[in-house]
């Protein structure tokens, strides 16, 4: 009887794990296709890429459009949550803003598939309420309130930030020999100056040590 009770408890857990694994495989397959800019594909191709049966697809998603939407949202949240963790202990919103931008620039190459998802959906994601956009807006607003930034239009400041981040990512992919760290810091420094930070202070902020990327990759992978 004891063995039966254990089986009754563990079987639902196994089922839940399998469901989670199947859903994750579908989302990963969709993200791979999104990174390639290939969304006009049959569901069969998605399930083959995920290595699952077609029937299992509909246990998780009603359509491929829903799957692609979820795949984009999860990519955004992964990136945004990572930025939250990297800036959690920073009190100065100007430094937090700069560090998020500098780290994002460096992550374009280390997580190129997620980067390409962001780049392929750049215009819509720049106004999304998930991922990087709301976090950047929060930092800009906090920096204005703390009188660190001189910004009259928050939405315009966010648009400038998003445009710079997307253009930087595209350039890094187009020029694989370009120094991603130096380029990210230069762009971040320019943005800080544009928002009213003196040149010497902007240079100092963008020279501050960043978290260890190798440790980060170990934690999030």
The first and second tokens of residue 39, run together, are 């969304």
pLDDT tens digits for range 12-24: 677 778 888 999 8
Name which of 34-38, 46-50, 65-69 the model is least confident about. Answer: 34-38
Distance CA 183, CA 119 (A): 17
Q: Which domains does the chain have, with CATH numbers?
A: 1-61 (1.10.10.60), 68-220 (1.10.357.10)
CA distance 99 to 184: 10
* Residue-wise pLDDT tens digits, 179-206: 999 999 999 999 999 999 999 999 999 9
Average pLDDT, the chain: 85
Helix (H) or strand (E) holding 152: none
DSSP 58: T
């Amino acid at each position: 009887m004891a063995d039966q009770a254990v089986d009754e408890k563990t079987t639902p857990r196994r089922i839940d794990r399998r469901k989670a694994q199947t859903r994750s495989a579908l989302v990963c397959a969709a993200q791979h296709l999104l990174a390639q800019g290939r969304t006009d594909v049959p569901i069969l191709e998605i399930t083959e890429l995920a290595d699952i049966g077609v029937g299992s697809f509909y246990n998780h998603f009603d359509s491929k459009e829903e799957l692609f939407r979820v795949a984009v949202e999860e990519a955004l949240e992964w990136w945004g949550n990572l930025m939250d963790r990297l800036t959690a202990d920073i009190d100065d919103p100007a430094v937090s803003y700069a560090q998020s931008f500098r780290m994002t620039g460096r992550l374009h190459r280390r997580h190129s598939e997620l980067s390409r998802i962001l780049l392929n959906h750049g215009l819509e994601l720049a106004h999304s309420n998930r991922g990087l956009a709301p976090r950047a807006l929060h930092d800009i607003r906090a920096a204005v309130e703390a009188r660190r930034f001189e910004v009259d239009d928050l939405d315009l400041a966010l648009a400038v930030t998003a445009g710079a981040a997307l253009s930087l990512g595209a350039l890094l992919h187009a020029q694989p020999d370009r120094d991603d760290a130096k380029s990210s810091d230069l762009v971040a420094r320019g943005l800080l100056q544009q928002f009213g930070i003196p040149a010497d202070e902007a240079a100092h902020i963008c020279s501050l040590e960043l978290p260890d990327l190798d440790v980060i990759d170990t934690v999030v992978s």
